[in-house]
Amino acid sequence: MTRFAESTITFPYKRSLGPVVGAFMTALTDKRILGIRNGKDILVPPMEWDPTTGAELAPDFVEVGPVGTVESWTWVPTPSVQHPLQHAFAFALIRLDGATTPLLHAVDGGSSERMVEGLRVAPRWRGTRVGRIDDIICFVMGEVPETDGGDTGAAQEPVQRMDYHASITYRNPVPAATDRAVVASRNRRLLGLRCPRCERVYAGGKGYCPVDAVELGPECEVDLPTVGTITNFAIVTPVSYPGQTETEPFVRAFVLLDGTDVVIGYSPVIELPADEVRVGQRVAAVWASPAEEHDQEGGMGGAWGSLLGWMPNGEPDIDDPDLVNRIF
């Protein structure tokens, strides 16, 4: 039975709006909707360029709506968490009065039977507006705009940036070879896979040879030495970003395992200050204690299981000028 690992990726984007979209968003905070003149057309939403020819448009804004007419619609019986309303609603193409192109937005229509082309709709504004398209919560039936809650007024400064938090949850299959490597790590074993064609050995539980493009099953497994030599390293000075837990400079080292061609990359070092790491230094694997193993992730994560990193084993350095080239 294949195991699946769930992960959520979040990108907290800050987007620059530019002179045209920025003007539109700024106007939204004042409960006004702007289009841009393009010859005889008034484009809503406004664009910086003619959608047909790509010619740059002068910033000739025209206030439109806020009331408009539904040109087309579809009914959303079961909204997603990203949708503007969490009960059944319509997505509609709405031609705002004075515009020549339709704006996509939500209509709080009650039921699909009430939706019809030609329906007149007006915005329901958020009480506190920040300069985003969802400052308009949705459109409502009729000619009268609404405001939800207390109105905190227009932005004091032009809106130049917009926050957009993209978040996606994925479920990915964990290869069987990865799971076998993790189980072996609980017994302080570092599992490798030897390709029957090219004889190359790989660590990390990948389950196939990237050179010959063949699968490597349990019959290809070999035990790897848990002692090696640092071939290269980087000292990472952490910068602050969402999800970064490191605050002090830290080392990521590459370790060539004794008697093999296997290099284990991006490894933490343990009981070894960053300014004392050297190419040629001899190190041994450090494993999580049984108590720590309840925490699924070791120091390296993924197929490395209980392997936390590497610490000096006291042997004299190896002096080999070629070592530094071994990062793969």
Which residues lie near another protein (CB under 8 A)?
2, 7, 9, 13, 15, 17, 21, 25, 43-45, 47, 51-52, 72-77, 80-84, 91, 93, 101-106, 112, 132-134, 162, 164, 166, 168-173, 175, 206-208, 210-215
With contact defined as beta carbons under 8 Å apart, do 134 and 84 qualify? Answer: yes
Residue among 144 and 211 whose Cβ is closer to another protein: 211
Spatial CB neighbours of 261, under 8 Å, sequence gap ≥ 6: 200, 201
User: Residue 210 Cβ, how far from another protein at the closest point, in Å?
Assistant: 4
With contact defined as beta carbons under 8 Å apart, do 141 and 111 qualify? Answer: no
Residue among 195 and 283 whose Cβ is closer to another protein: 195
User: Residue 75 Cβ, how far from another protein at the closest point, in Å?
Assistant: 5
User: Residue 293 Cβ, how far from another protein at the closest point, in Å?
Assistant: 26
Residue among 81 and 239 whose Cβ is closer to another protein: 81
Check whether the bond before 66 is cis (ω within 30° of 0).
yes
Residue among 204 and 228 whose Cβ is closer to another protein: 204
Distances from the Cα of 54 to the Cαs of 40, 49, 58, 59, 101, in angstroms? 16, 5, 12, 15, 17
User: Residue 9 Cβ, how far from another protein at the closest point, in Å?
Assistant: 6
User: Residue 105 Cβ, how far from another protein at the closest point, in Å?
Assistant: 7
Spatial CB neighbours of 131, under 8 Å, sequence gap ≥ 6: 17, 25, 26, 28, 29, 155, 159, 162
Residue among 10 and 237 whose Cβ is closer to another protein: 10
User: Residue 226 Cβ, how far from another protein at the closest point, in Å?
Assistant: 26
Distance of CA 298 to the CA centre of its chain: 23
Residue among 133 and 324 whose Cβ is closer to another protein: 133
Distances from the Cα of 171 to the Cαs of 3, 228, 247, 316, in angstroms? 10, 35, 30, 46
d(Cα 64, Cα 95) in Å, to the nearest integer?
10
